[in-house]
Amino acid sequence: MIKLENVTKNYKSADSAALRNANIDIGKGEFVFLVGPSGSGKSTFIRLLNKEENPSEGRIFVAGKDIGQLNSWKVPYLRRNIGCIFQDFKLLEKKTVAENVAFALEVIGRPKSVITKQVPAILELVGLADKVDSFPNQLSGGEQQRVSIARAFVNRPLILLADEPTGNLDPATSVGIMRLLDRINRTGTTVVMATHDRGIVDTMRRRVIELDQGTIVRDQAQGVYE
Amino acid sequence: MALKVSYMLRETGINLARRLTLTIAAILTISISLGLFGSSLLARDSVANATSRWEGGIEFVVWMNPTVDADQDAAIRRVLDESAAIESWTFVNQEEAYQEFLELFDESPELRDSVVPEDLPPSFRVVPTTKDADVVEEIGSQFETLPGVRDVVFAGEVIRSIQEQANKISNFLLWVSIALLIASALLILNTIVVAISARRQEIEVMKLVGASNWFIRLPFMLEGLIHGLVGAGIAVGLMYSLKRFVIDGFTKSQGLRLLEGLKVTNDELIYRGLWVLGIGIAVGILGSAFAVSTKLDV
């Protein structure tokens, strides 16, 4: 599903590479944790997969396609197959829960009939069926992250990228979010999650890729944080 | 597709409404600048209409009798050709004179219907080698006594002065309006930049979920287009008012004989109005396109 071949990413402003000669193969339906200290290259890894950044060297394949060869006008179509979740949720404050989720379908031109069917279904899945008309500032952090997951998953993407999704949440809420991501993973969606949360990684025992100063230092099946 | 169109219109409407004062400022600047631009064009047209007979350096016109015969006509042509003081001349036959008459009086059907080409005198329009009024009068007056000639009319200093002053005024208006048009384009650009900035988070989410580049760009482009179009629409209204209440007033004026010939036809108003609408649309699209291409990273 995801393949990195000798991928290096240099930023002009930085002295050393954010990612150095990375070679990774992630299969369909895998759940992968990216771990490592701040500045180790986890977010760069995620941004490269979503083509928010382009590699300085090497090639990245997503669903068998070399995304480096994609024309800029095709990038949105790549992103329709990739859901993204962030630490800061990135919800639109002036839209309700339902509108935030519907927005993801609306802006890719899905018909209204599809939107009215899929939005309640996904909100049911994330456990927010009773919050459809609430605004983000009326929700707890965990609920906001659930909205963010609903928005990322409503279009049934092949891949879900999560950059520190539990970073702003307390441990109990984080467990709920991880259960949800695990449930989504079980539908066949590949999940790549960057995290600092030792407890989650150690509990879930999934594949762990560890980065240190841009270099992959460990790739371990059913791994732990360190 | 229906959803996309309704989405575009809704988002554009929200953009316009959210920054109503900026929207009004942009539209008013465009309407004033395009109104001035259009007015300067209409002023040129009206002066050109009033002095059309005197364009291209023509200093006097030799009017013939409508019943002039071929020998008399040939005699005039011979004098014109042989005179060293005459640079060039053109002959306007009765049919051409009639066409000119129709253009000048296209809004007076009763007058048009009462005249046929045979009623109108043919004429020679003469460009002498000099513009010195005394010399021109001397050259022209030699035709007055020739057979078949009805009258010789001189452009005179007043006509030249009107043309020169009108050109100066319309050139000044043109430059002021061009400066204002640049200001309008910059104002649109800044309005769109503010719109993009205000919706930064929304745009970021749109990009993340895979909205196409044009889907993100179009509401902003549409906003610029609406600024240009509405501004140009108001400008066309101003131009119509100028024609209807000012220039048409000159035509009907009994006291201001000098201004009597100043007129703008409906065709000229429509033609210049289309110019103004086209420029308004272009300014709107260019301003917003520049903002979108430089500030919207999609």
Given a cut of 70, whether residue A205 has pLDDT beyond it is: yes
* Residue in the block written with tokens 């009994």: B254
Query: Is the domain of B73 the same as that of B126?
Result: yes
Structural element, H or E, at residue B92: strand B86-92
Query: Is the domain of B177 the same as that of B194?
Result: yes
Query: Is the domain of B22 the same as that of B46?
Result: yes
- Residue B188: what pLDDT? 86
Query: Is the domain of B178 the same as that of B260?
Result: yes
Return the minimum-mean-pLDDT range out of A129-143, A169-183, B32-46: B32-46
- Residue A136: what pLDDT? 95
- Residue A180: what pLDDT? 92
Is the pTM here over 0.90, yes or no? no
Give the whole-angstrom CA distance, residue A103 versus residue B221.
Answer: 20
Query: Is the domain of B149 the same as that of B165?
Result: no
Where in the sequence is the domain holding B135, given as residue range(s)? Answer: 53-154
pLDDT, average across residues A67-95: 90
- Residue A17: what pLDDT? 84
Give the count of domains, chain B.
2
- Write the DSSP symbol of residue A95: S
Query: Is the domain of B35 the same as that of B11?
Result: yes
- Residue B58: what pLDDT? 72
Query: Is the domain of B285 the same as that of B269?
Result: yes
In this complex, how many residue pairs, one in chain A and one in chain B, have their CB atoms less than 8 Å apart? Answer: 60
pLDDT, average across residues A25-34: 95
Question: Domain boundary at B138, B154, B170, which?
Answer: B154
Query: Is the domain of B191 the same as that of B287?
Result: yes
Integer angstrom CA distances of residue A116 from A110, A111, B1, B125? 10, 9, 16, 77
Give the whole-angstrom CA distance, residue B269 versus residue B239.
Answer: 8
CB-based contact B205 A111, cutoff 8 Å? no
Mutate to test the interface with A, among B199, B203, B205, B216 (most CBs of A within 10 A): B205
What is the nearest CA distance from A90 to chain B, expressed in angstroms?
7
Question: Domain boundary at B114, B132, B154, which?
Answer: B154
What CATH number does the domain containing B113 carry? 3.30.70.3040
Of A73, A79, A112, the CB nearest to B209: A79
Tell me the three state secondary structure of residue A161: strand
What is the nearest CA distance from B189 to chain A, expressed in angstroms?
24
What is the nearest CA distance from B228 to chain A, expressed in angstroms?
26
Query: Is the domain of B47 the same as that of B57?
Result: no
B5 touching A, CB under 8 A? Answer: no
CB-based contact A90 B209, cutoff 8 Å? no
Which residues on A lie below 8 Å from B210 (Cβ)?
76-82, 107-108, 155
- Residue B261: what pLDDT? 63
Q: Which pairs with CB-CB distance under 8 Å and at least 24 residues apart come from A197-206?
A: A197/A166, A197/A167, A198/A225, A198/A226, A199/A171, A199/A174, A200/A33, A200/A166, A200/A174, A200/A175, A201/A33, A201/A35, A201/A225, A203/A178, A204/A31, A204/A33, A204/A178, A206/A30, A206/A31, A206/A32, A206/A33
What ipTM describes this predicted complex? Answer: 0.87
List, for residues A49-79, the tens digit of each pLDDT value: 999 999 999 999 998 889 988 888 889 999 9
Query: Is the domain of B170 the same as that of B279?
Result: yes
Higher pLDDT, B171 or A211: A211
- Residue B3: what pLDDT? 53
Give the pLDDT of chain B (298 residues) as one tens digit per residue: 555 778 788 888 888 888 888 889 889 989 998 998 898 888 888 877 777 666 666 778 888 888 888 888 888 888 888 888 888 888 988 888 888 778 777 666 777 777 788 888 888 888 888 777 777 788 888 888 888 888 888 877 666 677 777 778 888 888 888 888 888 888 888 888 888 888 888 899 999 999 988 888 888 899 899 999 999 999 999 999 988 888 877 766 555 455 556 778 888 899 999 999 999 999 999 989 988 888 877 5
CB-based contact B208 A79, cutoff 8 Å? yes
Question: Domain boundary at B107, B135, B154, which?
Answer: B154
Query: Is the domain of B176 the same as that of B79?
Result: no
- Residue A48: what pLDDT? 93
Query: Is the domain of B23 the same as that of B105?
Result: no
